[in-house]
Structure 1
Amino acid sequence: MSKNSRAVLAVSALLSVATVVAVHVQQRRERERLHSGVLRDLERQRQKKENIRLLEEQIALTKQLMEEREKARMEEGSQQS
């Protein structure tokens, strides 16, 4: 085998190996990106549930406050009579 053919074979083999490695690295990055997307979605869902819980708690507290104010107004009205 001539030196030129050996060089071409070596370069071809190196390019093939480099291509395979690059594809594997790209696939790993893509897998990690997809996984981080799932984690972000789970965090968003958790945050949404927490926001809904806080909103319901706030609604309940507001309702309780309104009832207490109404009760206080009624007591003031009955004391003035």
Structure 2
Amino acid sequence: MSRASKLTLLGTSLFAAGTVVFVHWAQKADQEAMHQGVLRDIEQRRIKRERQADFDAQRALEAEYLKEQSVRESNLDDVPRLPSSSGGAAAER
């Protein structure tokens, strides 16, 4: 075999081996990224369940307090207005 054919064979062999190694590495990286996505989804579901449990507990607590206390809707028209601060209260002192 000539020197040129040996170099061509060596070059194509290295290129093929490099391609196989790169594809293998890329597949592993993609697999790891997908696994991280699954872990992130599991964590988000856990947080959502915790928040829902807190919300349900607050709702139950509110219902319990409403049984014990009488709560009525307030009407802002019934609330007396404070005097304006244009010197009226300060002038009386």
Shorter-chain TM band: 0.7 to 0.9
Aligned-residue sequence identity (percent) comes to: 37
Aligned to 2:82: none
Deviation at 1:42, TM superposition (A): 0.6
Aligned to 1:68: 68
Q: Aligned residue pairs: how many?
A: 70
C-alpha deviations, 1:57-81, integer Å up to 9, x for none?
11111122222322xxxxxxxxxxx
Gaps of 5+ in 2: 71-93
Secondary structure of 2:40's counterpart equals helix
TM-score (norm 1): 0.81
How many Å separate the matches in 1 of 2:30 and 2:60? 45
How many Å separate the matches in 1 of 2:12 and 2:60? 72
Aligned to 2:84: none
Bigger radius of gyration = 2
Aligned to 1:59: 59
| Amino acid aligned to 1:13 | S
TM-score (norm 2): 0.71
Greater helix share, structure number: 1
Q: How does 1:1-81 map to 2 (within 5 A)?
A: 1-70=1-70
Moved over 3 A (4+): none
Gaps of 5+ in 1: 71-81
How many Å separate the matches in 2 of 1:23 and 1:55? 48
Higher relative contact order, chain-length normalized (CA < 8 Å, sep 6+): 2
Q: What RMSD in Å do the two structures reach over aligned CA positions?
A: 0.9
